Amino acid sequence: MKKNIVLFVLFVLPIVAYLFFASGVNSFTKLPVITPKVADLGNWESLRGEKVSLNNKITILGFSGTEVLKNRGNLFNLNEKIYQRYHNFKDLQFVMVCPLGTEKDVKSIMDAFDDFTDVSHWYFVFTTPEEIKNYYSQLKLKGSLDANFGTSNVYIVDKERNLRGRNGGKDYKEGYDTFHPSDLSNEMLDDFKIILYEYRAALKKNHNATKQL
């Protein structure tokens, strides 16, 4: 009897587990679009003086607000749970829209991050509170900015500037709360992996098509 149980645990259970997880991945291989074709960023000044665009990049988009220094723990959570794991992916960028006047606070945070993180894929752009409100409104989300023109949520925007998430009833998810590390480690990480799977599958398909030609 004990021998049968051992054999079941060693051989049958792993196969059952594999089939269970494989079926889950295969049944959900495309992350729904919440808002199609969001606007690209304006000609806003970046911390490094760069032009930042959402085109042709997978973007983690956020709104830091005027209390960015007070809420720096949110950026730390995002950096630890998502950024450090995937920042070497060349088509990925993390973009935070910030109110003018917070440049020094953001720089101090990035200087601290630079001690243990390659911050080259972090981008901060600065504009007026009115421009931030206008930009956020066109995302057409259920959530809203707080009184400081920020939110602890971040959003996944694909290379075609579609804001992606979950739109199925109780499972609706338009953003991921950086205040809660568990939200990043679970829901966001799962959804982000689906986006990567989409693009890797597309690249493989295009590669195979090219070889056939």
Q: Is residue 16 part of a domain?
A: no
The answer as to whether 56 is a domain residue is: yes
The owner of tokens 């005027």 is: 66
- Band the pLDDT of 24: cuts 50, 70, 90: very low
Quick one: pLDDT at residue 8?
55
Tens of pLDDT, residue by residue over 164-175, are 999 987 889 999
Q: Confirm whether 23 is domain-assigned.
A: no
Residue 205: inside a domain, yes or no?
yes
By the 8 A CB rule, do 69 and 105 touch?
Answer: yes
Q: Which domain holds residue 89?
A: 33-212
Tokens describing residue 190: 């799962």
Evaluate whether residue 18 is within a structural domain: no
Structure tokens at 155: 């959003």
Provide the whole-model pTM.
0.83
Instruction: Kindly report, residue by residue over 174-191, the tens digit of the pLDDT.
Output: 999 999 999 999 999 999
Q: Tell me the β-bridge partners of 127.
A: 99
CA distance 83 to 178: 12
CATH of residue 38? 3.40.30.10
Question: In total, how many domains does the chain have?
Answer: 1
